[in-house]
Amino acid sequence: MSQFDMEQCAQLRKQIFITGYKGGMAHLASCYSCLEIIYTLYRKGVLRYDPKDPAWKDRDRFILSKGHGALALYTVLCEAGLLAEGELETYLQPGSHIGGEPYRREASCIEATTGSLGHGLSMAAGMALGQKLDGTDAKTYVLLGDGECQEGSVWEAAMTASSLSLDNLVAILDANELQKTRRVDEILKVVAWQEKWEAFGWTVRHVDGHDTEQLKQVLTEAPNAGKPTIVIAHTVKGKGVPLMENNPIWHFRLPNKKEREKFLQALQITDEELG
- The CATH number corresponding to 3-274 among 3.40.50.300, 3.30.70.141, 3.40.50.970, 3.40.50.10800 equals 3.40.50.970
| DSSP helix/strand/coil, 175 | strand
Cα–Cα distance, 166 to 131 (Å, whole number)? 10
Of 160, 221, 234, which Cα lies nearest the Cα of 191?
234
Cα–Cα distance, 62 to 165 (Å, whole number)? 19
DSSP 223: P
The per-residue pLDDT for 107 is 60
Domain ranges of the chain: 3-274
Q: Using CB atoms within 10 A of its CB, is residue 238 exposed (0-12), middle (13-18) or buried (19+)?
A: buried
pLDDT per residue, tens digit, the chain (275 aa), is 999 999 999 999 999 999 999 999 999 999 999 999 999 999 999 999 999 998 899 999 999 999 999 999 999 999 999 998 789 999 999 989 899 999 998 668 999 999 999 999 999 999 999 999 999 999 999 999 999 999 999 999 999 999 999 999 999 999 999 999 999 999 988 899 999 999 999 999 999 999 999 999 999 999 999 999 999 999 999 999 999 999 999 999 999 999 999 999 999 999 899 87
The neighbouring-strand residues paired with 173 are 144, 232
The per-residue pLDDT for 190 is 82
Q: Using CB atoms within 10 A of its CB, is residue 52 exposed (0-12), middle (13-18) or buried (19+)?
A: exposed
b/e 33-51 (16+ beta carbons within 10 angstroms → b): bbbbbbbbbbbbebbebee
Cα–Cα distance, 220 to 231 (Å, whole number)? 11
**245 vs 5, 175, 178, 263, 268, CA distance in Å?**
20, 14, 10, 11, 17
Cα–Cα distance, 29 to 254 (Å, whole number)? 10
